[in-house]
Chains A and B, each alone.
Chain A
Amino acid sequence: MNSAEEIQSAYIDYVLTKGTKPASVYVFAKDNNLTEEEFYNFFGSFDGIEESIWTGLCQKALTEVQNQEIWDQYSSREKTLAFFYALIELLKSKRSFVLYSLKQSGQTIGTPSILKGVKNLFESFASGLVDQGVESGELADRRFLTSKYKDALWIQFGVIVNFWAKDSSAGFEKTDEAIEKGINVTFDLFGKSPLDSLFDYGKFMMNNGGMKPNVKF
Chain B
Amino acid sequence: MKEQDSIPTSKTERSAKFVKTGFKVGGNYIKHYSKKLFNPSLTKDELNLDNATDIYTSLSELKGSALKVAQMLSMDKNILPKAYVDQFSLSQYNAPPLSGPLIVRTFTKYFGKTPSDIFDEFNIKSTNAASIGQVHQASLNGKKLAVKIQYPGVGDSISSDLKMVKPFAFRLLGMSQKELEVYMTEVEDRLLEETDYNLEIRRSIEFSEACKTIDNVVFPTYYPELSSKRIITMDWLEGQHMKEFMRTNPSQELRDKIGQALWDFYNFQQHELRAVHADPHPGNFLITPEGKLGIIDFGCIKEMPEDFYYPFFSLTSTDMLKDKARTIKAFRSLEMIRENDDAAQIEFFYRLYKEMIELFAQPYMSSTFDFSKTEFFDKLYSYGEKISKMPEFKQARGVKHFIYVNRTNFGLYNMLHDLGANVRTDTWYPHVDVAV
Contact = CB atoms under 8 A, between A and B. Distances in A.
Interface stretch (A9-17, A46-54, A75-83, A206-214): A75-83
Contact of B7 (A89, A171, A181): A181
A103 B259 CA distance: 65
B79 to A, nearest CB: 34
B102 A180 contact: yes
B329 interface: no
B57 interface: no
Nearest to A185: B6
B116 A70 contact: yes
Contacts of B26: none
Contact of B152 (A70, A73, A79, A173): A173
A70 B105 contact: no
A37 to B, nearest CB: 41
Interface in A102-128: none
Interface string B100-112: 1110110011000
Nearest to A177: B153
Nearest to B155: A173
A78 B5 contact: no
Contact of A181 (B6, B100, B114): B6
Given A70-B124, A181-B6, A176 B104 contact: no
A68 B116 contact: yes
B99 interface: yes
B100 A78 contact: yes
A176 to B, nearest CB: 5
A201 interface: no
A interface, how many residues as a size bin? Answer: 20 to 34
A79 B6 CA distance: 16
Given A69-B116, A177-B152, A181-B7, A171 B102 contact: no
B286 interface: no
A81 B102 contact: yes
B116 A78 contact: no
Interface residues of B, number: 18
Contacts of A171: 109
A181 B104 contact: no
A74 B114 CA distance: 15
A95 interface: no
Contact of A85 (B6, B105, B116, B124): B105
Given A171-B109, A173-B153, A188 B101 contact: no
A174 B6 contact: no
B101 A85 contact: yes
A184 B6 contact: yes
Contacts of A73: 124
Contacts of A74: 100-101
A77 B99 contact: yes
Contacts of A185: 6
A217 to B, nearest CB: 42
Contacts of B114: 68-70
Nearest to A67: B114
A114 B109 CA distance: 28
B7 A82 contact: no
Contact of B109 (A89, A180, A184, A187): A89
A78 B102 CA distance: 9
Nearest to B153: A177
A128 to B, nearest CB: 17
A22 to B, nearest CB: 35
Nearest to A82: B101
Contacts of A187: 5
Given A68-B116, A70-B124, A177-B152, A188 B102 contact: no
A70 B100 contact: yes
Given A78-B100, A85-B105, A180 B116 contact: no
B5 A81 contact: no
A81 B101 contact: yes
Given A81-B102, A176-B105, A188 B6 contact: yes
Nearest to B115: A70
A140 to B, nearest CB: 15
A169 to B, nearest CB: 8
A89 B6 CA distance: 22
A188 B5 contact: yes
Contacts of B104: 68, 70, 82, 85
B85 interface: no
B9 interface: yes
A204 B98 CA distance: 38
Interface in A151-208: 171, 173-174, 176-177, 180-181, 184-185, 187-188
Interface in A31-71: 68-70
Given A180-B7, A181-B6, A174 B100 contact: no
Given A171-B109, A188-B6, A180 B100 contact: no
A111 B388 CA distance: 63
A89 B108 contact: yes
Contact of A177 (B9, B101, B109): B9
A153 to B, nearest CB: 15
Interface in B3-19: 5-7, 9
Given A89-B109, A181-B9, 9 more contacts: A70-B104, A70-B116, A78-B99, A81-B99, A82-B104, A82-B105, A176-B102, A176-B152, A177-B9
In the A-B complex, the 5 residue pairs with the smallest Cβ-Cβ separation, listed nearest first, are A81-B101, A82-B101, A85-B105, A184-B6, A176-B152
28 contacts: A68-B104, A68-B114, A69-B116, A70-B100, A70-B104, A73-B124, A74-B101, A77-B99, A81-B101, A82-B100, A82-B101, A82-B104, A85-B101, A85-B102, A89-B108, A173-B152, A173-B153, A176-B105, A176-B153, A177-B9, A177-B152, A177-B153, A180-B6, A180-B98, A184-B99, A185-B6, A187-B5, A188-B6
Interface of B: 5-7, 9, 98-102, 104-105, 108-109, 114, 116, 124, 152-153
